[in-house]
Structure 1
């Protein structure tokens, strides 16, 4: 699988992926799994989901083009950074989100390890899992095992780095073909 070129896709990203309705559904589902307080959104993209949240969000992304959109939605609260090397001290962040990220990473373990490093004890990671499986199921096809964001894999990676499942949820991908249901997994640092 090749990673999309987000420098090119940024201009049309929101309109081709459900726009505001999907963003509001995602934000509401994510917030139900997070403790109170600010959030570090890893791979913030255009900032559409972060802007729909009711709490302060700091966003990081590797794509300059995506951040060009996010900076308008989250002025003064975005930075360019790699998900595998977050610009935060160890044990300093209360909540992290990684939505529609792990399925893209050739090494999703590096992201989980880095998030575990920056989360403080009791901190929570909320991430999407089984993204491609959600699309396949919505289309009436069986899920294919072995994805980088397969729930069992993410749970095992979390456990390896001191993160335990503390919740789950989902949201509908409004505005997308077949409106897939995207699973969310919450992992807390012990």
Structure 2
């Protein structure tokens, strides 16, 4: 699987991926799994999901084009950063989200290690898992095991860095073909 060129994709990203209805569904489901307080959103993209949240969100993304859109939605609360090297002190963040990221990473372990580093004890990480499987199942195809964001893999990698499952949820990909149901996994730092 090749990673999309988000410098090009940014211009039409939201309109081709469910827009506001999908963003509101994602934000609502994610917030149910988070503790109160601000959130660090890793791979904030255009900021559409973060802007739909009812709490303060600070977003980071590697793509300057995606951040150009996020800046409009989250003025003063976005920065360019790599998910594998977050601009936060160790044990300083109470909540981190990564929606539609791990399936793209050639090394999702590096992201989980970095999230575990910045989370404070008792902090929560919420991420999507099994993204490609959700699309395949919605289309009537069988799931493909071994994905970088496969739930069992994320749980295992999380455990390696002191993160344990504390919740799960899902949301419908409104506005997308077949309206896939995207699973969410919440992990807490012990």
2:68 is the alignment partner of 1:90: no
Write the mapping of 1:1-190 to structure 2, written as runs, cut at 5 A: 1-190=1-190
2 CA distance for matches of 1:180 and 1:33?
Answer: 20
After TM superposition, which residue ranges in structure 1, 4 or more long, deviate above 4 angstroms?
none
Question: How many Å apart are 1:164 and its aligned residue?
Answer: 0.2
Structure 1 unaligned spans of 5+: none
TM-score where L is the length of structure 1: 1.00
Q: Secondary structure at the match of 2:11?
A: coil
Question: How many Å apart are 1:87 and its aligned residue?
Answer: 0.2
Question: How many Å apart are 1:50 and its aligned residue?
Answer: 0.1
Query: Over aligned residues, Cα RMSD in angstroms?
Result: 0.2
1 CA distance for matches of 2:59 and 2:49?
Answer: 10
Structure 2 unaligned spans of 5+: none
TM-score where L is the length of structure 2: 1.00
Q: How many residues align?
A: 190
Q: Secondary structure at the match of 1:89?
A: coil
1 CA distance for matches of 2:144 and 2:159?
Answer: 23
2 CA distance for matches of 1:14 and 1:139?
Answer: 21
Q: Secondary structure at the match of 1:121?
A: strand
2 CA distance for matches of 1:160 and 1:174?
Answer: 34
1 CA distance for matches of 2:130 and 2:8?
Answer: 25
Deviations 1:136-163 (A, max 9, x none): 0000000010000000000000000000
Q: Secondary structure at the match of 1:11?
A: helix
